[in-house]
Amino acid sequence: MMSPFYTAEHDAFRDVMRRFVEKEITPFAHEWDEAGEFPRVLYRKAAEIGLLGLGFPEEYGGIAADQFMKIVASQELARAGAGGVSASLMSHTIGSPPIARAARSEVKARVLPQVLSGDKISALAITEPGGGSDVANLATKARRDGDHYVVSGEKTFITSGMRADYLTVAVRTGGEGAGGVSLLLIEGDTPGLTRTKLKKMGWWASDTATLHFDECRVPAENLIGEEGQGFKIIMQNFNSERMGMAAGCTAFARVCLDEAIAYAKERKTFGKPLAQHQVIRHKIVDMAQKVAASQAMLEMLAWRLEQGESPVAEICMMKNQATQTMAFCASEAVQIFGGAGFMRGIKAERIYREVKVNAIGGGTEEIMKDLASRQMGL
């Protein structure tokens, strides 16, 4: 689709990304989904084309990137129709920004180059068994003991949780509420840390885990930012995370649209291609309309972010718009495929299973609406 927001540089990166996805991900997506994981070497291959470094400081191996370069990355990854691969491969985009933004310089220098080169995996650990988006009331505790923090508690639904080398963990170092929350960088081989793999409705190729911290001793220098400033740092992550999810969901919806069009032209019923039945044509137009509207909203918000704005309400609404578009297009695509759409191995079926995780992750639809209404002064 033509858009005034993309330059020759964006287009060149899109070409690189498309070749990477077509060669390194799409042919193996079904196999990896069935296996419940993908090869760790994919991180290094992604780093070689500059994917992992987008938007991170150049001094640590990052690459300068605007909002539209990030959209290109998210949407080209989505062309494989493998949300689990995208989620784990890019888990550093939520796990490492707090490190880049607020960790001590020596911690940045030690950790970020390893992550951005694909040698190490970074993950974010906030959600707990007793609460999801209610960050201000998390229960995992970290008490100071000399030059260490001693961490006890649990985190769950953690993307890349099974094999992450670095975990950015929200902990309670102080009293109740947001003011008692801090962030700690906890290394994956820390004694007392154990992990339990979780089975999911979708995102099969993405490892997801519950993390158990049993008196884990973490060097005090691994504190990210200052004590009691963790909530603020976490909130700074959300705009980027939700924009990334919105970009991906809109692209997954487009994959469903493209797959449905191709199948409707090929499959014949009652003596003619599906595409010649009016009801099918109308379904496809409805899908195309929603994808175009979501993409336009996404790009306008990206432009506003580039101008220095922080349109929190609109980003919350964008996240809902994109996940609802994905849900609609996935459902309609499977309906158009009929029985074939119920069979494992096609993109539309895989995407259909992954609808709900996007509507829940990064803040549920209900939370997005509540945040948006508050920003609107309601």
Q: Which residues are catalytic?
A: 241
> Helix crossing, 230-266 with 278-306: angle to 10°?
150
**Could you give the CA distance from residue 288 to residue 329 in angstroms, rounded to a whole number?**
9
Query: How far are the Cα atoms of 73, 115, 141 from residue 44, in angstroms, in the given order?
Result: 16, 9, 34
Residue 333 structure tokens = 């695509």
The upper half-sphere exposure of residue 261, i.e. CA atoms within 13 Å in the direction of its Cβ, equals 11
Query: How far are the Cα atoms of 110, 202, 363, 368 from residue 360, in angstroms, in the given order?
Result: 33, 13, 6, 10
**Could you give the CA distance from residue 215 to residue 190 in angstroms, rounded to a whole number?**
10
- In 3D space, the residue among 147, 171, 177, 169 whose CA is nearest the CA of residue 98 turns out to be 169
Element (H, E) at 122: strand 122-125
* Amino acid (1-letter code) at residue 53: G
Helix (H, G, I), strand (E, B) or coil at 157: strand
**Could you give the CA distance from residue 190 to residue 186 in angstroms, rounded to a whole number?**
7
Other beta carbons within 10 Å of 134:
11
* Dihedral (Cα; 64, 66, 69, 75), 10-degree rounding: 130
Per DSSP, 39 falls in state -
Per DSSP, 66 falls in state -
Query: Helix, strand, coil proportions of the chain in percent (round to 5)?
Result: 55, 15, 30
- ∠322-326-330 over CA atoms, to 5°? 175
